[in-house]
Amino acid sequence: MLSLATPVGWTAPSQEISTRVGNTQPVRVVRVTPKRVATVIRLSEEDREWNAIRNSNDPQAFKTFLAKYGSGSKYGRLAEQLAENAEIERLRGRDRRYTDAPLIMRELAFDEFQTVDLTPEGNIVNPRILKSEVVAIELDREKGIALELVRIPGGEFRMGSPESEAGRLPNEKLHEVAVPEFYMGRYEVTRRQWAFVAALPKVRDDLPPNPSQPEAPRGRRSPRAPQNNDNTDMLPVENVTWSQAVEFCRRLEKITGKRFRLPTEAEWEYACRAGSTKPFAFGDTLTTRVANINGEVPYGAAKVTPTAGRLLPVGSLGIANAFGLFDMHGNVWEWCQDAFVEDYDNAPTDGSAYDVVNPIYRVRRGGSATYKAELCRCAMRGRAEPERTGPCITCTGGTGLRVAILAEDLKLTDDDAE
């Protein structure tokens, strides 16, 4: 489910681009959503066992998992935290009994994903499997490095939040926006993907190979990465400046010939909502069952939920929004193309970016693993000084990215499909 490569055993004609990266295969843009035969991504035994216990209130379930896979495994650190939290709740006599609907546990085809709704109390309801159209940008086929993009259908929506929404800020004024069809990263850009692109010839700016390594302590901590974890390549890259995020997109454009860029603020909120008019993509509240956030400060009528307090591998919670995008709430903040302004009075209504020369702040969206749900709402407008690293609340710590491209700029042909 977390594979970032074209599924094993599946081949399709591709659009080959002449640019080569070292000795790797030519960069290929391929439509990987099967049209005739479902291609299945096999879940590992560890993935299946984790899915079976991740919502458990029994500390022994997590201890058994840790005994088998260890704290350094993909889900090890989170399992330790959940075991500790469950034990505390048991000792306090708070054996919480949720009325969640059971999640659907089966192997999913590559273009399938699971989504759910949350009740105002935070219980899972209406679990369902949907399909999205997925396109892979193969960066290095031999190493299995690729970017997966999901088609986001064009449409109109009300951007911002109603005055009745808890946590609403004055800069979230409701207004109508029309968004054209585009593609957006299925996941946040990972450290492995970043390192690959950072090694490519620069277009305008240098890129550090691993910006996620902090240079100095911060006033407000960015999410901690797991230590001694073999799966750190799948963590989202963070501590990225806005210019570095833009340079990442420039390099993608150079090797693919496709106009990759950061999503606009309107595109981001439209994609995050995935049709929802509620504060969150999943409904009236948000919990750590569906998003990597700070669950100690619940939103609305929800209860406290166990908090990882650190970054998690992209997509590892296994729940996407209704468009098939993972981690739109929490994990890391995500840069948008726009300059930050305090109101929407002069904002474009066609889905394009609002930009000015040398703005003080750029927009970032989505919140992160250390932020409470209120600050991870669909309409919440984060801001950061685009190039400032260091110990400040508006610095770039805890900020990553996902890429976007207009459908007309991707220009896939029928020959790209199976």
Least confident of 58-67, 92-101, 128-137, 204-213: 92-101
**Over the range 67-103, which residues count as b (16 or more CB within 10 Å of their CB) and which as e?**
eebeeebbbbbbbbbbbebbeebeeeeeeeeeebeeb
Return the number of other C-beta atoms located less than 10 Å from residue 391's C-beta. 12
**pLDDT greater than 70 at residue 182:** yes
pLDDT score for 218 = 37
Contacts of 105 (CB under 8 A, 6+ apart): 48, 51, 52
- Check residue 390 and give its pLDDT: 67
pLDDT tens, position by position, 351-402: 999 998 899 999 999 999 999 999 999 999 999 999 988 667 888 889 999 9
> Could you identify the residue written with the tokens 């949907």?
130
**pLDDT, tens only, 26-82:** 565 665 554 333 333 445 788 778 777 776 778 888 889 889 998 878 777 778 777
CA 163 to chain centre: 27
Say which residues have a Cβ less than 8 Å from residue 57's Cβ, sequence separation at least 6: 86, 89, 90, 95, 96, 97, 98
Q: In this structure, are residues 111 and 36 in contact, taking their beta carbons and an 8 Å threshold?
A: no
Q: Is the distance from CB of 1 to CB of 318 less than 8 angstroms?
A: yes
- Over residues 120-168, the pLDDT tens digits come to 999 999 999 999 999 999 898 888 899 999 999 999 999 999 999 999 9
Q: Which amino acid is at 280?
A: F
Looking only at the bridges linking them, the beta strands covering 134-140 and 124-131 are unpaired
Domains of the chain: 15-55+98-416 (3.90.1580.10)
Task: Look at residue 172 in the predicted model and tell me its pLDDT.
Answer: 98
pLDDT at 179: 98
Higher pLDDT, residue 340 or 216: 340
- What sign has the CA pseudo-torsion 288, 293, 297, 302? negative
pLDDT, position 34: 40
Coil, helix or strand for 256?
Answer: helix
The tens digit of pLDDT for each residue in 222-254 reads: 555 544 444 689 999 999 999 999 999 999 999
When the pLDDT of each residue in the chain is averaged and rounded to a whole number, the result is 83
Q: Hey, CA dihedral for 240, 244, 249, 253, is it positive or negative?
A: negative
Q: What is the structure's pLDDT at 219?
A: 37
- φ, ψ (nearest 5 deg) of residue 411: 50, 55
pLDDT, residue 103, reads: 73
Beta-ladder partners of 162: none
| Cα–Cα dist 396/388, whole Å | 6
What is residue 140's three-state secondary structure?
Answer: strand
DSSP, residue by residue, 343-397: -STT--SSSPPP--SS-S-EEEES--TTSBGGGG-TT--EEE-TT--SSSTTSST
Cβ-contact 362, 289 below 8 angstroms: no
Neighbours of 274 (CB within 10 A): 19
**Residue 320: pLDDT over 50:** yes
Q: Which of 1-5, 93-97, 222-226, 240-244 has the lowest mean pLDDT?
A: 1-5
What are the beta bridge partners of residue 149?
135, 185
**3-state secondary structure (DSSP) of residue 60:** helix
Report the distance separating Cα 355 and Cα 341, nearest Å.
9
- Reading across the β-sheet that carries 362-365, which strands appear in turn? 382-384, 362-365, 333-339, 399-400
Determine the pLDDT at residue 23: 33
Question: Which are the contacts of 91, defined by CB distance < 8 A and separation ≥ 6?
Answer: none
- Give the H/E segment covering residue 150: strand 145-152
pLDDT at site 32: 54
What is the pTM for the complete model shown? 0.80
Q: What is the mean pLDDT of the segment spanning 203-232?
A: 65
Q: Regarding predicted confidence, which is higher, 37 or 326?
A: 326
31 or 212, which is more confident: 212
Q: Rounded to an integer, what distance in angstroms lies between the CA atom of residue 301 and that of residue 297? A: 11
Backbone dihedral angles phi then psi of residue 255, each to the nearest 5 degrees: -90, -15
State the burial class of residue 392 (Cβ atoms within 10 Å of its Cβ: 0-12, 13-18, 19+): middle
Q: Of all helices (H) and strands (E), which one includes residue 135?
A: strand 134-140
Residue 332 DSSP label: S
**What is the distance between the alpha carbons of residues 49 and 71, in angstroms, rounded to a whole number?**
15
Is residue 97's pLDDT more than 90?
no
What are the DSSP E strand ranges found in 286-358? Answer: 333-339
The span from the CA of 50 to the CA of 77, in Å, is: 12
User: Which candidate, 250, 248, 239, 249, places its Cα nearest to that of 388?
Assistant: 239
